[in-house]
Amino acid sequence: MATVSAAVRRDWLVGYAMVAPVVLGALAFVVLPLGMVVWYSLHEWNVLANTFTFVGAENYGRMAADDGLADALLASLWFSIGLVVLNIVLALLLAVLLNQRLPGTTTFRTFFFSPVVVSLVAWTIVWSFLLQADGGINGFLAVLGVDGPNWLRHETTAMIAVIIVQVFKNVGLNMILFLAALQGVPEELQEAARLDGAGAWRRFRSITLPLISPTILLVSIITIVGSLEVFAQIDVLTGGGPGNSTTVLVYYLYQQAFRFNEFGYASAIAVLLFVIVLVLTLLQWQSRKRWVFHEV
């Protein structure tokens, strides 16, 4: 490499100085704690007795025999499938509808986006009242002559309720992302296809979908990662119940650490969660070459 002039070096210095706060912050508050979680996961840590004993991979071995963890993984799987499918389909549907040039679309956009900016806990608490046995939803159903279930007290309806509360909370964000992508689809392509006799569904499938596929990739990554991080909704709505039906992985982790004081084991579960998210994201990233338009 040729010698670097003093001016270029000074540029580098300024550049490093500019990024230093972010890099140092990330090191101190992201990388270091992450490393410490891995370190803690190799220990048995009893907070009350104030003991911290190195146990090697024992916490990881314990996971294999932990039925509660298996149940939590299964609950997370159901939650993620329900949330991702419902959220993406609904967001895309809303985006397509709101992409029409019709009166009132701005109002509807605002309407669907507003839950995104509402405080998560406030949103969930309001829903917890609506979902009570004698709450607003069953009151509405009763007007229609339907006897609604006690939503949060049955295993199936509790999971469905938690998924729907979360979908309504965040569908607006995905909708806006899809809407931006749809507005980037060139009108002349649509017009050319129309002249060639393609119907609405054919145009959507062969022109719109491929052109917005990068956004679908982005939205599915965000939504899957988000679905694995769900906590507050579970805590407020069901507390993991009934039974353990809505005890998803992060809630299980929270119970182990903050209720049972098993900080070492909880750290091992945090590492497992990290690996799951990493693998899922890498899989999606690898698969993009097969279906994302600009990558094919």
Partner 1 sequence: MSAQHTPRRTAVTAAAFGAVLALTACGGGTDAPVGEPDAPAEPVDLRMTVWTADEAQLELFQSIADDYVAENPELVSGVTFETIPFEDYTTSLTTQLAGGNAPDLAWIFESNAPEFVASGALADLRPLLESTEGYALDDIVPSALGLWEDSEGLYAYPFSTSPFAMFVNTDQIAAADQTDPAELVASGGWTFDAARDIAAATAEDSGKQGLVVRDFDYQTWENLATVWSGWAAAPWSEDGTQCTFTEPEMVEAMTWIHDAAFEDGAMPGPGTTADFFAGDAAMTITQISRASALDGSFDWDVVPLPAGPAGQQNVVGQAGIGVFAAGEHPDVAADFLAHFTNPENAEQLAGYFPPPRASLLNAETLAGANPSLSAEQLQAVVVEGVEDAVTKPAHKNFAQLSETVRAELDALWTEDADVEAVLTDTCSAITPLLEE
CB of 224 to partner 1, least distance (A): 9
- List the beta strands (DSSP E) in 42-143: 43-46, 51-54
C-alpha–C-alpha distance, residues 186 and 48, integer Å: 63
Residue 234 near residue 162, CB atoms below 8 Å: yes
- The one among 11, 23, 24, 52 contacting partner 1 by CB under 8 A: 52
- Name the one range near partner 1 by CB under 8 A: 8-16, 99-107, 197-205, 253-261: 253-261
What pairing do the DSSP bridges indicate for beta strands 51-54 and 43-46? Answer: antiparallel
Nearest by Cα to 126 from 114, 117, 135, 116? 135
C-alpha–C-alpha distance, residues 163 and 91, integer Å: 14
- Name the one range near partner 1 by CB under 8 A: 79-87, 89-97, 104-112, 152-160: 152-160
> What's phi and psi for 273, nearest 5 deg?
-60, -45
- The one among 103, 106, 134, 201 contacting partner 1 by CB under 8 A: 134
Residue 40 near residue 267, CB atoms below 8 Å: yes
Non-local CB neighbours of 11 within 8 Å, separated by 6+ positions: none
Say whether residue 90 binds partner 1 (CB under 8 A).
Answer: no
Say whether residue 222 binds partner 1 (CB under 8 A).
Answer: yes
- The one among 136, 274, 287, 291 contacting partner 1 by CB under 8 A: 274
- The one among 18, 30, 85, 118 contacting partner 1 by CB under 8 A: 30
- The one among 25, 186, 199, 239 contacting partner 1 by CB under 8 A: 239
Residues that bind partner 1 (CB under 8 A): 26, 29-34, 36-37, 40, 45-52, 131-135, 150-154, 218, 221-222, 225, 229, 239-244, 250, 253, 255, 257-261, 263, 266-267, 270-271, 273-274, 277-278, 281-282, 284-285
